[in-house]
Structure 1
């Protein structure tokens, strides 16, 4: 959930959304019982599609799902001054804990679990590094190493203090939490939950290429999701078929700038403060969008060798890694289909 994306990024994001959901090409917008809306939320285009025999009920469910996504964004976006995460950041360095609702506390708690699980490569205290690079804003730049080294002293998830009764505290006044690596996935999962509550049994939520589906398509077949080619806009490397599952991709083509022929992108290694260099993209299939979102980012930072080993050790996620040289690597259970 970044801020101030450039026009370049918005165009790429829109193309990515249009190419991913391949089944729409064959059924078309006018397919009976197929209802779809788009809104700009979570700093991306969010498209919700519902298959339903009742048009009014479908639109009610979609609107409720969008309201839920907006609610979560208002809690977790650090670029919203009144959000709970912003209030935690604004209170950094104070002795008092910042009280937060249980939902926010639980998300931060799970984030720290993911950090432990991934050996520290997923770290929500990365905010100061994100800010100094300014990628996706009007202030993109390459910070010097001395500046980065100073900021890296602030990037340490172990300094985040949680107290169930009181809230969250950041001991250093310059620390900043950024939940961009988990918030979108969580919001997608909550939107799916709201659709279920409204009686929807077949649906798909697509937030800028991070996707979770509910059930199957109307004809009982899996949803066909295209995986973006990281070096060719509006092209795909293949297709994954999913039912009641999520897909998320992290790539160096989403937000970046070029300088002297070098690509500087928004997925940072918390150990160095530099963009991770060993992958072009990582795609994860998981039971939830939150898991897929987090693991795509973490494995991108891990790099191909460590990332593939990690993937094959997990019981519930599969993935595909596009190495920096363009070679495709797959976890043992990942099934890439032809276009």
Structure 2
């Protein structure tokens, strides 16, 4: 995944680190754009328009991604792989220039059949789960920990976190939300008790051409990097896969639209745009 992971746990067994790494390795083996023999990479090389059976973990993430896509009216798009590659944010590496590529969303579709656990893509689409797979990796490793009897832990993978139970001193797992470096908004401190948190930072990756900054966050409707002033979105959810995916989707929208959608979906979300902060109803209720 190109990142690190860390775990704080109460009385973990000796093989805990190996188990967590094994769970994360499953995500890489199935969903990595950078591993040429991952299930995702092989699916993207296979003939479009045909159904292809995929492993259970990959099927679960595709189903979650498509559910968020439907609920967000396309703000999340699991078929952006060709566009992210063309703009230098995929497996091909940086390009440093604005590509000459059409962003027609009507020809870019990913379909999933839950009965057969199969996926198909249109010719213009390539599966890209970088906006949700890391959160699923947190969940997969967390569920392994719970299954082995570890009940109290804080697991972090590349800035996405899930806290279960409490610390040995009886306190919840407290974490601070990182704010964009250009913003004066003070950071939130969150108690992760059986809860996950994910932050999508629009300032983290991108490149500059002709005095303009191009972000790695894409608007699926235009097929281009987003132009809103949203710099980061943080979402709290029981499942880290949903927190991760929804943070990605809300980043695409402007702050008012993102809060409205978060309220409609009952999501606890905090959107930072410049030096302004917009919080959803569920986030506000958690403050009480």
- 1:175, CA displacement in angstroms? 2.5
- 2:265 matched to 1:314? yes
1:64-79, aligned counterparts within 5 Å? Answer: 64-79=19-34
- 1:260, CA displacement in angstroms? 3.8
Residue equivalent to 1:10: none
SS state of the match for residue 120, structure 1?
A: coil
Residue equivalent to 2:71: 117
The answer to whether the 8 Å contact 1:320/1:331 transfers is yes
Structure 1 residues not aligned, in runs of 5+: 1-41
Q: TM-score, normalised by structure 1?
A: 0.76
Correspondent of 2:36 among 68, 72, 81? 81
The answer to whether the 8 Å contact 1:128/1:155 transfers is no
SS state of the match for residue 241, structure 1?
A: strand
The answer to whether the 8 Å contact 2:202/2:251 transfers is no
The answer to whether the 8 Å contact 2:162/2:192 transfers is no
Residue equivalent to 2:169: 219
Q: CA RMSD in A?
A: 2.3
- Aligned mates of 1:205, 1:232 — CA distance in 2: 28
Residue equivalent to 2:89: 135
Rg (Cα) greater in structure: 1
- Aligned mates of 1:230, 1:69 — CA distance in 2: 27
Q: From the superposition, tell whether residues 162 and 132 of structure 1 become closer, same or farther in structure 2 (CA, over 3 Å).
A: same
Deviation string 1:51-80 (CA, Å, 9 cap, x unpaired) is 22x6xx1x4122201111111210111322
Q: From the superposition, tell whether residues 98 and 243 of structure 1 become closer, same or farther in structure 2 (CA, over 3 Å).
A: same
Residue equivalent to 1:90: 45
Structure 2 residues not aligned, in runs of 5+: none
- Aligned mates of 1:112, 1:214 — CA distance in 2: 27
1:112-191, aligned counterparts within 5 Å? Answer: 112-135=66-89, 137-144=93-100, 147-149=101-103, 152=105, 154-157=107-110, 160=111, 162=113, 164-165=115-116, 167-172=118-123, 174-191=124-141
1:55-66, aligned counterparts within 5 Å? Answer: 57=13, 59-66=14-21
- 1:100, CA displacement in angstroms? 1.5
Residue equivalent to 2:7: 48
Deviation string 1:281-305 (CA, Å, 9 cap, x unpaired) is 0011111101100110111112211
- Aligned mates of 1:252, 1:302 — CA distance in 2: 12
- 1:202, CA displacement in angstroms? 1.3
